[in-house]
Amino acid sequence: MLVSKLIEGRNIILRPHTQKDFKLIHQWMTNPQVTGEHIDISLSDLRKGYEERIKGDYYLLFMIDRENTTIGFCNVYYHRKDPESKIVDVGIFIGEIGYWGKELGKDALTTLLIYTFDILDIEEVTVTYNKDNERIKRLTTKLGFKVEQSDNIKGKTTKEEIEGAKITKEEFRQTVSHTEDGKLFYIIS
Ligand SMILES: CC(C)(COP(=O)(O)OP(=O)(O)OC[C@H]1O[C@@H](n2cnc3c(N)ncnc32)[C@H](O)[C@@H]1OP(=O)(O)O)[C@@H](O)C(=O)NCCC(=O)NCCS
């Protein structure tokens, strides 16, 4: 599914991806310092994988821009590839290491969650990550995700080292603020 607009966060912007961005994504994904593992994939295979997903109507890909620099990407994946599903899995990836630890991951994920709950009208969001990834654990815990082994998460992997967490729209309302008519916006410390 193609994303057609800019979504403004506090210090970042989520924007539609372009063909050029796959080169950057490939650079980040194959950098063990970024992913913590050795991922051996060619640019054309990576491009194919993403293009398949983007062609469908169950996957959204946003690039994360900080001022004039593209620093990462994030995505929304509808449960069971069903665009009617009210459950999605999200991913967040800051590929530029120099930008880690500056709360930009928090900014991007919060912005993505507001969009997902308010605009896409999703009821539950899951996220999966390696158990030893302390950054994402702290980030998701801070935003109100709870570690869980529900079928929505279990179905994704059988790997021991993978952990999953989820958050509902109601739970996310406790993290961010909302206007009188229910629109979410964020003030988080
Ligand atoms: C995980 C990731 C998105 C976090 O983004 P970030 O911009 O570095 O994180 P933030 O600055 O918003 O901080 C998030 C939390 O991590 C904590 N953190 C920062 N550096 C840390 C470190 N070295 N160890 C543990 N926690 C750390 C921050 O203190 C913050 O928690 P707090 O608010 O309780 O203090 C980013 O590091 C990343 O994309 N890494 C590579 C790809 C990845 O792992 N993606 C997640 C898989 S789904």
Residue 28 belongs to some domain of the structure: yes
Measuring from each residue's beta carbon to the nearest atom of ligand 1, which residues come in under 6 Å?
A: 34, 72, 91-94, 100-106, 127, 129, 133-136, 138-139, 142
State mean pLDDT over 63-79: 97
Contacts of residue 95, Cβ cutoff 8 Å, sequence gap at least 6: 24, 25, 27, 28, 29, 31, 34, 71, 72, 73
Tokens of 183: 């629109």
Q: Give the pLDDT confidence score for residue 1 in this predicted structure.
A: 72
**Cα–ligand 1 centroid distance for 93 (angstroms):** 10
Of the two residues 126 and 3, the one the predictor is more confident about is: 126
**Cα–ligand 1 centroid distance for 134 (angstroms):** 7
Q: Is the pLDDT of residue 2 over 70?
A: no
Residue 137 belongs to some domain of the structure: yes
Q: Give the pLDDT confidence score for residue 151 in this predicted structure.
A: 63
Q: Is the pLDDT of residue 48 over 70?
A: yes
Q: Give the pLDDT confidence score for residue 174 in this predicted structure.
A: 85
- 146-147 and 162-168: which strand pairing? antiparallel
Q: What is the mean pLDDT of the chain?
A: 90
CA nearest ligand 1 atom 16, residue: 135
pLDDT digits (tens, 9 = 90+) for 87-101: 999 999 999 999 999
Residue 1 belongs to some domain of the structure: no
Q: Give the pLDDT confidence score for residue 158 in this predicted structure.
A: 60
pLDDT digits (tens, 9 = 90+) for 148-186: 876 656 555 666 788 999 999 999 988 887 777 777 776
Range of the domain at 174: 7-185
Residue 149 belongs to some domain of the structure: yes
18, with CB counted inside 10 A (0-12, 13-18, 19+), is exposed
Q: Give the pLDDT confidence score for residue 173 in this predicted structure.
A: 87
Q: For residues 132 and 84, give the distance between their C-alpha atoms in angstroms, rounded to a whole number.
A: 33
Q: In ligand 1, which atom is closest to the CA atom of 99?
A: 7
Q: What total number of domains does the chain contain?
A: 1
CATH number of the domain within which 29 lies? 3.40.630.30
Residue 130 belongs to some domain of the structure: yes
**Cα–ligand 1 centroid distance for 55 (angstroms):** 30
Strand residue runs (E) in 67-144: 69-78, 87-94, 124-130
Contacts of residue 64, Cβ cutoff 8 Å, sequence gap at least 6: 12, 13, 14, 70, 71, 72, 73, 74, 94, 104, 108
Residue 160 belongs to some domain of the structure: yes
Residue 2 belongs to some domain of the structure: no
Q: Give the pLDDT confidence score for residue 178 in this predicted structure.
A: 74
Residue 154 belongs to some domain of the structure: yes
Q: Is the pLDDT of residue 147 over 90?
A: yes
In this structure, of 1-5, 136-140, 150-154, the range with the lowest mean pLDDT score is 150-154
CA nearest ligand 1 atom 8, residue: 100
**Cα–ligand 1 centroid distance for 111 (angstroms):** 16
State mean pLDDT over 1-7: 79
* 18, amino acid identity: T
CA nearest ligand 1 atom 43, residue: 93
**Cα–ligand 1 centroid distance for 135 (angstroms):** 3
Share of the chain above pLDDT 70, in %: 92
* Residue among 135, 137, 142, 188 to mutate when testing ligand 1 (max atoms within 8 A of CB): 135
Q: For residues 181 and 40, give the distance between their C-alpha atoms in angstroms, rounded to a whole number.
A: 48
